Structure 1
Amino acid sequence: MMSTDHEGLEARLAQLEKRLRHIEDERDIARLIASYGPSVDAADAEGAAALWSADGTYDVEGWLMSGREDIAAMVGSDGHRRLVANGCCHFLGPAVVTVDGDDAVAGCVSLVVLRAADGYPERESGATAHDLPAPGYVVWRAAANHFRLRRIDDRWQIVARRSRLLGNPEAQQLLTAGVAGQAE
């Protein structure tokens, strides 16, 4: 009788460890995806590139970046640095994450918000401390994102990210596949 109780306890413990690992994987992936915005908005080219696997890809509206070097070059580019200097915010909404062993899929929407020119008329003044007029911000880009991720060297890395502007069938397909946990 004693060995049966011990075996049952061992099985329950193994199941609990498996469930905990799954939850930790989902959390780690959500954190990785959420860290993209702060990394690129800080113009941290190395930090942003480190989110990808060495041969990972990032496809934005047909612009294909391959490898960490391409991603770092995008973040370090003059165009991107101008966005940062002018006040941009890359916001990736909560991701729906599906983990299958050492592979995962995630889907989310994203916004790029830019600071508008001074005097943006639709923005109310007095919304910030010290009764200073609040700067105006506008949504510049709204997109669907589909991620494929893999655990490499015991950490999650982006293997492929596709991003398409909302309002077209391809964006809808990316979101549908991401929510369903399909690799596309």
Structure 2
Amino acid sequence: MSEIDELRATVETLMARVRALEDQVEIMQLVAQYGPAVDSGSGDAAAALWTEDGAFDAVPHLRMRGRDDIAAMVHGDGHQSLIRNGCGHVLTVPHIVVDGDRATGRSHALNIRWDADADRFWVARVSANTWRWVRTPQGWRIAERINANLDGAPEHRRQLAPPTSER
């Protein structure tokens, strides 16, 4: 292999590694935008994180299909009551596996609420999340998020298990 061929191969390898890192960072930034969007009541901003036909299942409470459903949840009375009374949605950094223009992942989410009477915050919900992301012309978007309470149900715990290839 000539020096030029070696250099080309090195550049191609580096380009692939940089793209993989960029994909990981963009997906992490996408997930990081969710909590601030819903906690500020910005339903359209939250919905824009999903694909047009994206799915969001808040097991067992609510199944949302498409951006309109997600925005309606944020603008709805239940969610608005939560944020008026003091609430924060905190998502952990997801584990991400990118495969071309698709990616999957898993993470935790916490719903932290303010208790004015006790002058403290408390964790109201800890959940397991599984994610599917897709690359779109506008960048990475959420195709599906399943958010299930870690209430002891084995199927919810399994959402956090590493994919078979990682075990």
* Structure 1 spans left out of the alignment, 5+ residues: 121-134
CA distance in 2 between partners of 1:181 and 1:22 (Å):
21
Deviations 1:79-122 (A, max 9, x none): 1111111110000012101101100011101100000132x1xx
SS of equivalent residue, structure 2 residue 140: strand
1:170 partner letter: E
Task: Give the structure with the higher percent strand.
Answer: 2
Q: With structure 2 as the length reference, what TM-score do the two structures score?
A: 0.93
SS of equivalent residue, structure 2 residue 160: helix
- Determine the structure 2 residue equivalent to 1:175: 160
CA distance in 1 between partners of 2:164 and 2:18 (Å):
20
CA distance in 2 between partners of 1:181 and 1:24 (Å):
25
Q: 1:142 aligns with which of 123, 126, 130?
A: 126
CA distance in 1 between partners of 2:91 and 2:20 (Å):
22
- Determine the structure 1 residue equivalent to 2:101: 102
CA distance in 2 between partners of 1:154 and 1:67 (Å):
17
Q: Is the 8 A contact 1:98 1:181 kept in 2?
A: no
- Determine the structure 2 residue equivalent to 1:151: 135
CA distance in 2 between partners of 1:92 and 1:25 (Å):
19
Deviations 1:143-182 (A, max 9, x none): 0000000001151001011011102111111111xx4288
SS of equivalent residue, structure 1 residue 19: helix
CA distance in 2 between partners of 1:154 and 1:55 (Å):
15
Larger Rg, first or second structure (1 or 2): 1
Q: With structure 1 as the length reference, what TM-score do the two structures score?
A: 0.85
* Structure 2 spans left out of the alignment, 5+ residues: none
Aligned length: 163
SS of equivalent residue, structure 2 residue 159: helix
Identity across the alignment (%):
39
2:55 partner letter: T
CA distance in 1 between partners of 2:143 and 2:28 (Å):
15
Q: Is the 8 A contact 1:146 1:174 kept in 2?
A: yes
